[in-house]
Chain A
């Protein structure tokens, strides 16, 4: 029964998108897509409960058995991602952005919801499918729709950022496709488990090593791993705020899953981390991301750009967890997926509230706003504390396990650097909090007219702020699932 429901996870949003195009009523479309996402979330939770403890759900599309047919295969690893993506989609969808994205007129807004649903469907498809080429197709569905979503931001630079994102994303997508092609040449199959079973990776086999290189570089572009992150700050800071919140909370997380799946399931930890020693590249890049991107965040005058650079730094923490290749570190990286989605999603929703009321998120324009918008500002502080990693917030949980994993590996210097990079987060969060609470509003920009954000905006932002504290105190669910997923990945399963 549950495997028949599983396929709906992708099919529902995929079919709901054209329905939105036909319905053409903006408010109706919004409620409809919210309902679809809620159903997807319910399915994801049911699936996660079903597979916890080592279960696997498999669905054969069209009744063709794998490896010939396409298989949807879900274990704890992908069920965790499905729950994460649908939960974030649900919270962001429920955010009432009062008039939709700036570039979209009322009579076209139904198309915006259609594209949003397509993006969700693509992200869920990448996570759920067990077929390598199918991943490429879903990757492009989600990417194409996110280029559109980014281009809808009000500023003219939004379109330019979307164009950059498209060029980078397409190059990444083609690299991924070439990597899959080489794997097909070596193994003669496209089913992920079948590839993993037939592949005997060795350093002498040029085809296999090239496939790994193409896949890792292609996915790293989509994930925005440090030197390939250039598209991200522009895309996230010019996209409509709701879109930034959604993409920051889900798109990079799904790419991270893809990278972990390629490294651990297809090529296997022994080859990647002992023979090839990928950590010799991944670890320095992660640390550079943590420092340079956090450093860049400090000097940003716009809150959205600041958060976008901080995202690049946080991706550094995730890849750092990946490069430890032990259960604690990898679980730390995986739990940071959820934790970062909660805090960064929450912060970008706060940005959306501020933009709606203040009209700008330039840090100077936010001076003294703490008195005018107390609830919004409090959510901003909670998210900020979590970015720093203060105990009692989700940020602390991830850093705790990351540091433990790194120490288990014997990399004392890296552990010290993680803690030092938190100080940079303290600086850039401190800068925002100082402006919001302690600085007097500039006389040229009076804020007397500014009121608290409406409930439809405040509630979703606060759901994530409360989650940031709740999951910072109760780690059974998040870390428990992440640990199980990490052990499964290290054992080479999905």
Chain B
């Protein structure tokens, strides 16, 4: 495999890794708690994209079995290539988890803002040092 092929064949993964690192960098580098939550969201979204990417089968169509009058149950062999539906189903759950995490994180950020008067991590640390 030449390096050009290596990149072009796997470009989706490169994109996902880049997105993931963007998210992780925001979580680490930003002091604002809301921005941290957003970084965490990007990080999770990258992982979700990873699952969605792997579900794609080259030349595959949406995994909906067409209606077949000969078989009223509708599950005949049709020689149709389908994409893998399972990762999408898993990601529905992962998205719900992500929403719950974001909601909780934002609720905690509101609580922190109420207690410290700031949503900036560095200012909160200084506040803690001064009010022990």
- The docked-state distance in angstroms from the alpha carbon of A174 to that of B116 is 29
Contacts of B115 in A (CB 8 A): 156, 159
- The docked-state distance in angstroms from the alpha carbon of A163 to that of B104 is 9
Contacts of B111 in A (CB 8 A): 151, 159
Give, as a whole number of angstroms, the nearest-CB distance from A218 to chain B.
11
Contacts of B27 in A (CB 8 A): 167, 171
Contacts of B54 in A (CB 8 A): 181, 184-185
| Chain B contact patch, size range | 20 to 34
Whether a CB of chain A sits under 8 angstroms from the CB of B50 is yes
Contacts of A137 in B (CB 8 A): 93, 97
Q: CB distance A177 to B47 under 8 Å?
A: yes
Considering only residues 26-47 of chain B, those with a C-beta below 8 Å from chain A are 27, 33, 36, 40, 43-44, 47
- The docked-state distance in angstroms from the alpha carbon of A147 to that of B105 is 9
Contacts of B105 in A (CB 8 A): 163, 166-167, 170
Give, as a whole number of angstroms, the nearest-CB distance from A118 to chain B.
11
What 1/0 mask marks residues of chain B from 94 to 111 whose CB sits below 8 Å from any chain A CB?
A: 100100110011001101
Whether a CB of chain A sits under 8 angstroms from the CB of B82 is no
**One of A144, A178, A185 near B101 (C-beta < 8 A):** A144
Whether a CB of chain A sits under 8 angstroms from the CB of B22 is no
Contacts of B124 in A (CB 8 A): 160
- The docked-state distance in angstroms from the alpha carbon of A157 to that of B116 is 9
Q: Could you say which of A148, A173, A174, A185 has the most chain B C-beta atoms within 10 Å of its C-beta? A: A174
Q: Given A151-B108, A166-B108, does the pair A140, B101 have CB atoms closer than 8 Å?
A: yes
The number of residues on chain A lying at the interface, defined by a beta carbon within 8 Å of a beta carbon of chain B, is 25
Q: CB distance A144 to B47 under 8 Å?
A: no
Give, as a whole number of angstroms, the nearest-CB distance from A342 to chain B.
31
Whether a CB of chain A sits under 8 angstroms from the CB of B112 is yes
Give, as a whole number of angstroms, the nearest-CB distance from B101 to chain A.
5
Contacts of A157 in B (CB 8 A): 128
- The docked-state distance in angstroms from the alpha carbon of A162 to that of B106 is 12
- The docked-state distance in angstroms from the alpha carbon of A148 to that of B105 is 10
Q: CB distance A159 to B108 under 8 Å?
A: yes
Q: CB distance B47 to A171 under 8 Å?
A: no
Q: CB distance A163 to B116 under 8 Å?
A: no
- The docked-state distance in angstroms from the alpha carbon of A151 to that of B109 is 11
Give, as a whole number of angstroms, the nearest-CB distance from B46 to chain A.
8
Whether a CB of chain B sits under 8 angstroms from the CB of A375 is no
Give, as a whole number of angstroms, the nearest-CB distance from A112 to chain B.
15
Determine the residue in chain B with the shortest Cβ distance to A134.
B93
Whether a CB of chain A sits under 8 angstroms from the CB of B21 is no
Determine the residue in chain B with the shortest Cβ distance to A178.
B47
Contacts of B108 in A (CB 8 A): 147, 151, 159, 162-163, 166
- The docked-state distance in angstroms from the alpha carbon of A162 to that of B43 is 19
Q: CB distance B104 to A144 under 8 Å?
A: yes
Determine the residue in chain A with the shortest Cβ distance to B51.
A181
Determine the residue in chain A with the shortest Cβ distance to B109.
A163
What 1/0 mask marks residues of chain A from 144 to 187 whose CB sits below 8 Å from any chain B CB?
A: 10011001000011011011001100110110011001001100
Considering only residues 50-75 of chain B, those with a C-beta below 8 Å from chain A are 50-51, 54
Q: CB distance A163 to B112 under 8 Å?
A: yes
Give, as a whole number of angstroms, the nearest-CB distance from B41 to chain A.
10
Contacts of A151 in B (CB 8 A): 108, 111
Q: Given A147-B104, A157-B128, A171-B27, does the pair A178, B109 have CB atoms closer than 8 Å?
A: no
| Residues of A near any B CB (own CB < 8 A) | 133, 136-137, 140, 144, 147-148, 151, 156-157, 159-160, 162-163, 166-167, 170-171, 173-174, 177-178, 181, 184-185
Cβ contacts A to B, 25 pairs, < 8 Å: A133-B90, A144-B100, A144-B101, A144-B104, A148-B104, A151-B108, A159-B108, A159-B112, A160-B112, A160-B116, A160-B128, A163-B33, A163-B105, A163-B108, A166-B105, A167-B27, A167-B40, A167-B105, A171-B24, A171-B40, A174-B43, A177-B47, A178-B47, A181-B47, A181-B50
